[in-house]
Amino acid sequence: MEEPCGAGAAAPLRGDAEEPKQGSVLFLGGNEVKSSAVVKYSSAPPQAAFARLQEKTDLKLPPANWLRESAKLGPAGTTILGNSKKSKPFSSFGMAYDFIDSVGNDVDVVSDSENIKKLLKIPYSKSHVSMAVHRIGRTLLLDELDIQELFMRSSQTGDWTWLKEFYQRLIDQKWQRKKKSKEHWYQKAILSKFLYYSINGDGAAQPVPSTSKQHQEGPVAGESDEAGRASWPAPFEMPSSLSEDPGASNQGNVPLEPSYLVGHVASAPKEQNLTPLFNDGENRQGLKNDFVRNILWTFEDIHMLVGSNMPIFGGGRYPAVSLRLRDNNKPINVLTGIDYWLDNLICNVPELVMCFHVNGIVQKYEMIKTEDIPNLENSNFSTKVIKDIAQNILSFLKSNCTKEGHTYWLFKASGSDIVKLYDLTTLCEETEDKYQNPFTMPVAILLYKVACNMMLKKNQNKKHYGTIRTLLLNCLKLLDNGRHPQIIASANYMLSELFQLDEPKKEDSADFPINGNSDESYSEEEEEMPDSDENGSYSNSSDPPDDNKAVAIIKSVGELSVPEKYKSVHRIRPSCAFPVCHGTEERCRLVLNHVLEGLKSVDSSVKKEGDLPAADPSTPIPLKYEDESTSGGPESLEKQMALFLDKMGSFQKGKHSSQSGMIPGSWQYKMKLQLILKSSRAYYVLSDAAMVLQKYGRALRYIKLALQCHDTYCCLCGSMLPEVLVFLCQCLTLCGDIQLMLAQNANNRAAYLEEYNYQTKEDQEILHSLHRESRCQVFAWATDLSTDLEYQLSVSCKCYEAAYEILLFSNLKSQNPEQHIQVLKRMGNIRNEIGVFYMNQAAAVQTERVGNKNVSTTEQQLWKKSFSCFEEGIQNFESIDDATNAALLLCNTGRLMRICAQAHCAAEGDYKREFSPEEALYYNKAIDYYLKALRSLGKRDVHPAVWDSVNWELSTTYFTMATLQQDYAPLSRKAQEQIEKEVSEAMMKSLKYCDVDTVSERQPLCQYRAATIHHRLASMYHSCLRNQVGDEHLRKQHRVLADLHYSKAVRLFQLLKDAPCEFLRVQLERVAFAEFQMASQNSSAGKLKTLSGALDIMTKTRGAFQLIRKDLVAESEQISKDKSPAESMSVNDSPAGLNKEEVLKLLGIFESRMSFLLLQSIKLLTSSKRKIGGTNEEEAVLKTNKQVYSLLLRATANKGLSLLERTELILSLLEQLAPRNAEGTPGMQ
């Protein structure tokens, strides 16, 4: 069983949640009613044993300790007297502030125990009920609404006249508060003295000084009027004494807001750092929680946070009892019984001690168990009915008090059976200023505090964001910007925090059900349950016309006793209405909208300095636009960059300034810093989103705004927090990315310029707020839209360098390794881009240099700039172990060396030119860089594409160098043999790095390259053989090598379907090689064998001629489609890939060589036949050769044949030769 209320040596601090324990379950008269109570807070001293008074003790005589502070009573003083203290009208708000965790979520009702008892006694009592009801989430706050007190106030101040008129017209014109009788005050005094006797413990009536007699009527009798009057705060005016409040921040002559509104978001940029700092103004406004106990009471399924001042005693065999004094002549009625029973249930007290007296003389004591109270004589009541009443009243209120922020009035006139519910907020707004409602401010603050508390919970799921947003929007509806700028600014900042900017939005996430964009968490437009017998009381159709202002009516209090008569029909949205943002831009715009509202609140509360420039928010602030004529280029950029870094360094020294006169440390200062930082983040996200959409002009505009926000933050802030510096690095990095993209997409510059210059009204207003604090343009160098490509690339590079410098001097490198790596990667990349830019410029200058053979100074400077950029980029990538990108930059450096080598070539027209030492030097340097790139990668698996690319470039370099040495042999410096050796070595190295086997897009190129290398080597050895005399061993070696390379070249060219001419050329060279060999042969048989081999080579060219014929046929078909017969193609017109001039030339050579070989073959075969008599096979060959030779001669003699006809003739001749060669004798083969 729960420890009795008040027990224990020390009470927990208010707001500390005790560990909930299972309370008592009471079984009463056969009806089971579940009730448990957990003490959340108690200010009562250790529980005192009550003293049983002697019989005949006269309670009319005061005890010696009466109305004095006692150690047993503690500092609470007369508060222990329970009902002697009148409940304050805002008592539920005081509790709600202290137990903010429970509000809006776990608890159904927050109220004084007296109000709870009054509600549950409605069906039994004829007395009037007047209560204010407020809804916060699913929690209802109930407070006594003393209408008579309001009317007394109205007659003095003129306020509340609208309610007075409404009340007198519609409610009860006759009802007036009954004056308390002398008997009432006599009974109060008797009870008070009884309790002090019980605490005193000696049981004796001691005489007291006569002054105490005066106290008897003073504080007790006058308490009702005074307590009631003092407890109501002014509706809105501030007491003059508060103007001296040292805790409030005074900004010049701006009117001070009520001090209980003070609450600011701490200046640290932590997303959830939202602790509100409310000062003791709450106490002055009657919002203090001054109950002796706050109890979490669960009655059946209803959870209530209840305040109670009932005195509890203990000691002896009674762990906890409540003391009651009764007149023996007056029986206990039902109302008193319910009162005692509920008090004991709420405080979890198991027994009641009743002291009976007659005319103040103690007669006897009686002990009654709590569960027996409902069965007392003359006080019988059903606990089940009380449960039904509680459930019905709660359902009735929850169904009808649907609007957060509204004040509802539950009213039952004295002696009436009808209970009515009015919406005072709506009535107030129809007639007067909403601030004439005294509940407006406490409700607004509670909404704000509940939202703050929900934001602070680390384990909050996003599904609560809709609830938080609703709370804050409803809070803002109740506030006036001129009076409460601080809480409005703070609420807007929290609203902006709800939209996550740093993570991608999951549009279909279950956290954000699509349920519209309503600002209310409870649907006001929802239709209520249809009228029926059960719920008929929800309808106003049968009400008198005077009651048409009521929201809902209970026609008879008897209905409350009917089980489940009122079912809760309100439908709370499961996650409230969080707006569904269809995309990042919409989300950021909502954030910026709230930020702007917050900035307006801050600015309106700051004293307007006379020298501030008068800015018109409707006038756009021009965004500076640079073109190449005004920009100073990279040189001026260096100066601006230096100034920027100087300024960044100065933040470490704590300098700051504000043009608007904001006082550092004031709430305006702290809040504006937070709002500015939030807007900066929103603009950053917008810029990033625009980048993804390739809207680079828009992206640059947003990052400019983000950096301008950051600029103002820097001017205001004395010291830069690490998180802010990291964010600045991110902004500069993104700015660098945008400038690079603008440089790479120069063709869309006009569209980007238009995007860049566009501005929304919201952006203009935010800029004007920023310009109130600072005009400095520290980041202007980074965000200008230039039309000069070199300048844009330089700006991009400087952005990355600035980000890197910030990471270095603020020691953030180690804490943000990922950021550091990203910045270095981008620095390496941009340096590669700039290096390539200068390299291409150098190549362009080189192509323009026609007449002058010497390398110009401009070219050399461009080479140096390019080389320097590549070198720095390689260092950047190597510092973060990025082997792949380092290899790519080494590859580009190799390409630069090749451009340098090409620049040293003489003009093409100089036939005497030789391969120069400078060319050799640069080509070898290029080879070194390519080899370094391969070493950097290590193996192909690291990055196959880059590995293949480097290999290809290396192969190309070797091939180019070998080709140049072969074509422009440096014979003036080297011997022929040495050149041939170097060419052969370079060609073989080129072959080594030319991968013909791996299947890839580059495979056909590799095959063509390898075939060309073999062809060139074969041609070289062929040439050596022709020119060499003497060394027979060397000649034989050259012959073997030439034959080997020719055959390899043929095999590779055969794989390619688009190189028929190259294949023909190689085959013709092979025929020439055979002819050269035949010339040195003496025997007819040897010559015949060689001739047969040469003719065999010729027949193998059929595939090449078939490809040529296919191309020519396709071309003729295309001509017949596209052109009229009158038009004809010139010799050089040809389909793609076929050089007709080359084909004609090769065809001419082919015909002449074929003619020569056939003639020689016929001669040798004829002479052989005459000498020894030929075989049948030889005769057949001779016959075929003669026939083919005859056809060939006729064809060559006919000059009118077209290229296609000649090709087809050759193919038919080769067809005739082929069978003979295929079936030829072994000797011929």
Q: What pLDDT does 578 receive?
A: 58
For 808, the 3-state DSSP assignment is helix
Q: For every residue of 744-806, which 3-state class applies, written as one string?
A: HCHHHHHHHHHHHHCCCHHHHHHHHHHHCCCCCCCCHHHHCECCCHHHHHHHHHHHHHHHHHH
Cβ-proximal residues to 644 (8 Å cutoff; 6+ apart), any chain: 778, 779, 781, 802
Helix (H) or strand (E) holding 296: strand 293-299
Q: What pLDDT does 227 receive?
A: 37
What is the DSSP pairing of strand 109-112 with strand 361-369? unpaired
Mean per-residue pLDDT, 423-444:
73
Proportion of the chain in helix, strand, coil states, percent, rounded to 5: 55, 10, 35
Q: How far is CA 12 from the centre of its chain?
A: 41
Q: For every residue of 321-360, which 3-state class applies, written as one string?
A: EEEEEEECCCCCCHHHHHHHHHHHHHCCCCEEEEEEEECC
Dihedral of the CA atoms 1159, 1086, 1052, 966 (nearest 10)?
A: -90
**HSE-up (13 A, CA, CB side) for residue 377:** 2
Strand order, beta sheet including 408-412: 25-28, 31-42, 293-299, 302-308, 109-112, 139-144, 129-136, 408-412, 419-423, 550-554
Q: Count CB neighbours of 301 within 10 A.
A: 11
Q: Is the pLDDT of residue 939 over 70?
A: yes
Q: Is the pLDDT of residue 927 over 90?
A: yes
Q: What pLDDT does 165 receive?
A: 73
Structural contact between residues 799 and 783, judged by C-beta atoms closer than 8 angstroms: no
Q: What pLDDT does 678 receive?
A: 92
**pLDDT tens-place string over residues 23-33:** 444 443 335 68
Q: What pLDDT does 795 receive?
A: 92
Dihedral over Cα of 425, 431, 433, 435: its sign = negative
Owner of token pair 């029909």 = 569
297: β partners: 37, 304
Q: Please work out, in degrees rounded to the nearest 5, the angle formed at the alpha carbon of residue 664 by the alpha carbons of 659 and 666.
A: 110
Q: To the nearest whole number, what is the mean pLDDT of the chain? A: 74
The type of residue at 1173 is G
Mean per-residue pLDDT, 1048-1068:
83
Q: Is the pLDDT of residue 926 over 90?
A: yes
Spatial CA neighbour of 675 closest among 263, 251, 261, 269: 269
| H helix count then E strand count, the chain | 37, 13
**pLDDT tens-place string over residues 288-326:** 777 888 899 998 888 999 998 888 887 656 678 888 888
d(CA 311, CA 72): 12
Q: What pLDDT does 893 receive?
A: 94
Q: What pLDDT does 1219 receive?
A: 61
Structure tokens at 280: 């003791």
Q: How confident is the model at residue 243 (pLDDT cuts 50, 70, 90)?
A: very low
Structural contact between residues 1013 and 959, judged by C-beta atoms closer than 8 angstroms: yes
Q: What pLDDT does 569 receive?
A: 53
Helix (H) or strand (E) holding 627: none
**pLDDT tens-place string over residues 789-839:** 899 999 999 999 988 888 887 777 777 788 888 999 999 999 999 999 999
Q: Is the pLDDT of residue 544 over 60?
A: no
d(CA 1142, CA 1062): 10
For 294, the 3-state DSSP assignment is strand
Q: What pLDDT does 826 receive?
A: 92
Mean per-residue pLDDT, 1200-1208:
81
Q: What pLDDT does 613 receive?
A: 46
d(CA 347, CA 330): 26
**Percentage above 70 pLDDT, the chain:** 72
Mean per-residue pLDDT, 480-509:
74
Structure tokens at 63: 């005890």
The type of residue at 753 is L
Cβ-proximal residues to 720 (8 Å cutoff; 6+ apart), any chain: 651, 652, 714, 728, 810
d(CA 254, CA 490): 18
For 410, the 3-state DSSP assignment is strand
Q: Please work out, in degrees rounded to the nearest 5, the angle formed at the alpha carbon of residue 304 by the alpha carbons of 302 and 310.
A: 130
d(CA 973, CA 920): 13
Q: What pLDDT does 661 receive?
A: 73
**Percentage above 90 pLDDT, the chain:** 13
Q: Please work out, in degrees rounded to the nearest 5, the angle formed at the alpha carbon of residue 442 by the alpha carbons of 441 and 444.
A: 60
**pLDDT tens-place string over residues 349-401:** 888 889 999 988 898 888 888 888 888 888 888 888 888 888 888 888 888 88
Q: Higher pLDDT residue, 638 or 524? A: 638
Q: What pLDDT does 1120 receive?
A: 77
d(CA 888, CA 891): 5
What is the DSSP pairing of strand 293-299 with strand 139-144? unpaired
For 522, the 3-state DSSP assignment is strand
* Burial of 181 (C-beta count, 10 Å sphere; 0-12/13-18/19+): exposed
Of 117-126, 566-575, 848-857, 1019-1028, the one with minimum mean pLDDT is 566-575
356: β partners: 326, 364
Q: What pLDDT does 176 receive?
A: 59
pTM for the model: 0.69
d(CA 88, CA 103): 19
DSSP state, 375? G
H helix intervals, 1173-1229 = 1176-1197, 1203-1222
Q: What pLDDT does 765 receive?
A: 92
Of 144-148, 924-928, 1166-1170, the one with minimum mean pLDDT is 1166-1170
d(CA 161, CA 483): 23
Helix (H) or strand (E) holding 421: strand 419-423
For 433, the 3-state DSSP assignment is coil
**pLDDT tens-place string over residues 662-707:** 788 888 888 999 999 999 999 999 999 999 999 999 999 999 999 9
Owner of token pair 């709590």 = 370
Mean per-residue pLDDT, 113-121:
89
For 943, the 3-state DSSP assignment is coil
131: β partners: 144, 410
**pLDDT tens-place string over residues 967-1004:** 888 888 888 888 888 888 988 988 888 888 888 888 88
Q: Is the pLDDT of residue 59 over 60?
A: yes
**pLDDT tens-place string over residues 88-110:** 667 888 888 888 888 877 889 99
Q: Is the pLDDT of residue 575 over 60?
A: no
Structural contact between residues 967 and 984, judged by C-beta atoms closer than 8 angstroms: no
d(CA 1060, CA 1062): 6
Structure tokens at 45: 């001293």
Owner of token pair 């983040």 = 681
Q: What pLDDT does 839 receive?
A: 93
Cβ-proximal residues to 799 (8 Å cutoff; 6+ apart), any chain: 732, 733, 735, 736, 739, 782
d(CA 1214, CA 1191): 12
Most confident option among 78-82, 131-135, 1083-1087: 131-135
Q: Higher pLDDT residue, 149 or 952? A: 952
d(CA 1173, CA 1165): 10
